[in-house]
Amino acid sequence: KRIVVLISGSGSNLQAIINAIDAGHINGRIEHVISNKADAYGLVRAEQAGISYSVIDHKAFDSRESFDAHTRQVIDKYAPDLVVLAGFMRILSAAFVQHYHGKMLNIHPSLLPKYKGLHTHKRALEAGDNEHGCTVHFVTEELDGGPLLVQACVPVSSDDTEASLQAKVHQREHVAYPLAVELICADRIRFDEAGIFLDDELL
Ligand code: GRF
């Protein structure tokens, strides 16, 4: 399968997927990495892995739609089967999301449907939750709202801070995201007009 990854920052999830591909767990190849930030460390990771990349600076466009249209053109040059949002900190327009329906994944640092949006670790602490985690989901027009694919939990302890919780969740992301990509690339999970399809063994 052909994969394009979109990032904005450190790219540790990108790295986890690169590692899983190198280890032979994923039947796929990252064709291209796109960052909306020129200084994203994830670009260094792409370079080190020999993956081509582009910087598309959203500030150079006069609207969300024009940024999205250009990004879509660049993505589609690589004819991806899967578009992976890995710490990509831009909200995507409806037309963009619809174009990749069933083909685009995101990772969110909470146990969705809890804590859509920002500051998830702070919110989990404030709520006194004893469990927190991350979710890989298909992207739909509803922000952080598409069908859930893989979740990983971490226990919350009484001495956890926002930073310690974030670090714990981040580690679990590096397991959850490659697993989700692996399941999709092996055609064991699909999301299309008919809804979600799961391989019998996953039921
Ligand atoms: C992750 O915490 C992810 O959940 C959030 O952005 C972060 C990306 O981290 N959406 P990295 O760039 O993959 O290291």
Distance (angstroms) between ligand 1 centre and the Cα of 197 equals 27
| Catalytic positions, written as ranges | 108
88 — pLDDT class (breaks 50, 70, 90): very high
- Is residue 92 within 8 A of residue 68, CB to CB? The reply is yes
Q: What is the DSSP-derived secondary structure letter of residue 176?
A: H
Per the CB < 8 A criterion, the answer to whether 29 and 21 are in contact is yes
Residue 77 CA to residue 92 CA, distance in Å, equals: 19
0.85 surpassed by complex ipTM: yes
Q: Which helix (H) or strand (E) holds 84?
A: strand 82-85
Determine whether the shortest distance from the Cβ of 178 to ligand 1 is under 6 A.
Answer: no
The confidence score (pLDDT) of residue 203 equals 65
> What is the C-alpha end-to-end distance of the chain, expressed in Å?
24
Note whether 155 and 163 are within 8 A (CB): no
| Residue 109 · residue 32 · CB < 8 Å | no
Quick: pLDDT tens for 135-184: 999 999 999 999 999 999 999 999 999 999 999 999 999 999 999 999 99
Distance 87 CA to ligand 1 centre (A): 4
CA atoms within 13 A on the CB side of 134: 24
CB of 11 closer than 6 A to ligand 1? yes
108-126 pLDDT, tens digit per residue, is 999 999 999 999 999 999 9
Q: Is 171 exposed, middle or buried (0-12, 13-18, 19+ CB in 10 A)?
A: middle
Show Cβ contacts of residue 168 under 8 Å, excluding neighbours closer than 6 positions: 132, 154, 160
| Binding-site annotation: residue ranges | 11-13, 64, 89-92, 106
Sheet containing 148-155, strands listed edge to edge, beginning at the edge strand earlier in sequence:
53-55, 29-35, 2-7, 82-85, 104-108, 131-138, 148-155
What are the residue boundaries of the structural domains of the chain, listed by start? 2-118+134-153+173-202
Whole-angstrom Cα distance, residue 167 to residue 123?
A: 15
Q: What is the DSSP letter of 2?
A: E
Residue the block writes with tokens 């092996």: 186
Task: Give the Cβ contact number of residue 185 at 10 Å.
Answer: 21
Whether the predicted pLDDT of 15 surpasses 70: yes
Report percent pLDDT > 90 for the chain.
93
Q: How remote is the CA of residue 185 from the centroid of ligand 1, in Å? A: 21
Phi first, then psi, for residue 130 (nearest 5°) are: -100, 0
Which architecture does CATH list for 2-118+134-153+173-202?
A: 3-Layer(aba) Sandwich (3.40)
What per-residue confidence (pLDDT) applies to 107?
97
Q: What is the pLDDT of residues 37-72, one digit of tens each?
A: 999 999 999 999 999 999 999 999 999 999 999 999
- Average pLDDT of span 72-84: 98
Q: In this structure, what are the phi and psi dihedrals at residue 65, rounded to the nearest 5 degrees?
A: -65, -40
* Helical (H) or strand (E) element with 175: helix 162-185
